[in-house]
Chains A and B, each alone.
Chain A
Amino acid sequence: MRYTSFTSYDLILLAQGLGVSVALFLVTTLIGFLIGTIWAVMRFYRVPLLTPLITFLAELLKNSPVLVQLFLVFFGLPALLKINVTPVEAAVITLSGNTAAFIYVIAVAAIESIGRDQIESARVFGLSRWQILRHVVAPQAMAFAIGPLTGLLVNQLQVTSLISVIGVVDLTKIGNILNLRTLKPFIVWTVVGGLYYIAAKLIALGGARLERRLRAHTAWKGL
């Protein structure tokens, strides 16, 4: 057997790479969701000074390449603060921040989609701002946001492939390693692309399911 041929161990490598990609995707989505939602709530409470600052930061993160953000965190931060940043840490920081920016925008749109009159009548009933957020705004905003959110997550999964550039051994990096060893680019990249495709489809499917559940109470049930 020549060292250029595929071995069964390559399958384990691919599975490992997929695991790293999916794990980082899940962790950064969770952190990004938390930060993005907190930013949107701050905007809902109209915190002075912070609100324009957050909006500016979100616009900056949305309108610049993730690759450059990744380089800024991985190469720039250690040089500026004289600290050590591992590739995985840089990936988590960058992807979480990027996801947070997009989730902030979606959350703001979702909150604004709820009619003013609903919030006003809730206030007339004597609900506090937190109660309004918790019982009136949040459930409806969630049902509104789930569609764009699914689209975002499918996108963010693809964005994780960029972390291979700073040396995180994710699925794309494994593809690179296999490509250099076997010199069969068509097979390697087709398999890697196929795995990403399947993962993206699963996310889209999950999002569609969740959307049906969340919208069940407003769906037309027939007479």
Chain B
Amino acid sequence: MILAPHVPFLLKGALLTAEACALALFGSLVIGLLVAALRTSSSPLLSRAAFIYVDLFRNIPFIVQLFFFFYGLPEIGIYIDAFTTGVLALSIAGGAFSSDVIRSGILAIDTGILEAAEVSGLSKPTIFRKIVMPIALRTSIRPLGSVFINLVLTSSILSTITLNELTGSAKIVASDTFRPFEVYAVLLIVYASLTYLISLAIGALHRRLNRDRMPDVA
């Protein structure tokens, strides 16, 4: 096959994609939890601010956000490489989407549990960390999974800021071999199989985390 000599190069790109996605997954979960906590907080100011963040980053194309950070940050004296910029932008955009998912997970929690925790004299941060967060995360693992799959697909856009992840290296291979159709067709199938595997893993994780409840769902 024509692609065989280029496989190691493509694998390097795939590794970079995997690294960026793993870091961005972590980042977007942290941001998502924080923003979801703000949005469900009793302070109208904080929940309003969190809503504006989510609304803005969900309704502006990712590529515009990416360019905003990539060209904008050096302007204010912050010099970071393309990889860090990409992970940052992915985390912020992913955070907006995952916060929405986590928020609905929080709102679905039985208020009796929260009242019981309050009566037991637990402080608000403790209630959030020990009770709200674990329940919300494990019930919303499936929608969080589709956010993550979207993150993987979106990471292909990082190739536009000179980052040679999977799509970026495929672009180089396509222009080296003059076989763009074969290269991009394979790339399409690679991404599709990758996201399919992720969705299988998420299904398994969902069943594992919720094994003690909802026997009909799991």
The 8 Å CB contact of A197, one of B60, B156, B183, is B60
The 8 Å CB contact of A161, one of B56, B61, B71, B196, is B61
Choose the segment among A44-52, A69-77, A130-138 that binds chain B (4+ C-beta atoms closer than 8 Å).
A69-77
Task: Tell me, yes or no, whether A122 is within 8 Å of chain B by CB.
Answer: no
Choose the segment among A57-65, A102-110, A205-213, A215-223 that binds chain B (4+ C-beta atoms closer than 8 Å).
A57-65
Separation of A196 and B174 alpha carbons in the complex (Å): 32
Instruction: Assess the A192–B72 pair: CB atoms within 8 A.
Output: no
Distance between A19 CB and nearest chain B CB, rounded to angstroms: 17
Q: Taking CB as reference atom, which chain A residue is nearest B157?
A: A67
Instruction: Assess the A75–B192 pair: CB atoms within 8 A.
Output: no
Task: Tell me, yes or no, whether B160 is within 8 Å of chain A by CB.
Answer: yes
Instruction: Assess the B64–A161 pair: CB atoms within 8 A.
Output: yes
Instruction: Assess the A172–B64 pair: CB atoms within 8 A.
Output: yes
Instruction: Assess the B60–A162 pair: CB atoms within 8 A.
Output: no
The 8 Å CB contact of A179, one of B61, B65, B71, B184, is B71
Choose the segment among A8-16, A26-34, A140-148, A183-191 that binds chain B (4+ C-beta atoms closer than 8 Å).
A183-191
Separation of A157 and B58 alpha carbons in the complex (Å): 12
In the bound complex, residues from chain B placing their C-beta under 8 Å from that of A164 are 63
Instruction: Assess the A161–B63 pair: CB atoms within 8 A.
Output: yes
Q: Taking CB as reference atom, which chain B residue is nearest A201?
A: B59
**Interface of chain A, main secondary structure:** helix
Task: Tell me, yes or no, whether A139 is within 8 Å of chain B by CB.
Answer: no
Separation of A66 and B191 alpha carbons in the complex (Å): 11
B10-41 near A? 1/0 per residue, CB < 8 Å: 00000000000000000000000000000000
Q: Taking CB as reference atom, which chain B residue is nearest A185?
A: B71
Instruction: Assess the A79–B178 pair: CB atoms within 8 A.
Output: yes
B57-81 near A? 1/0 per residue, CB < 8 Å: 0011111110110011001100000
In the bound complex, residues from chain A placing their C-beta under 8 Å from that of B65 are 193
Task: Tell me, yes or no, whether A124 is within 8 Å of chain B by CB.
Answer: no
The 8 Å CB contact of A186, one of B75, B160, B183, is B75
Distance between A120 CB and nearest chain B CB, rounded to angstroms: 26
Identify the interface centre among A68, A175, A176, A190: most chain B CB within 10 Å of its CB: A68
Separation of A164 and B174 alpha carbons in the complex (Å): 19
Footprint of A on B, CB under 8 Å? 56, 59-65, 67-68, 71-72, 75-76, 149, 153-154, 156-157, 159-160, 167, 170-171, 174, 178-185, 187-189, 191-192, 195-196
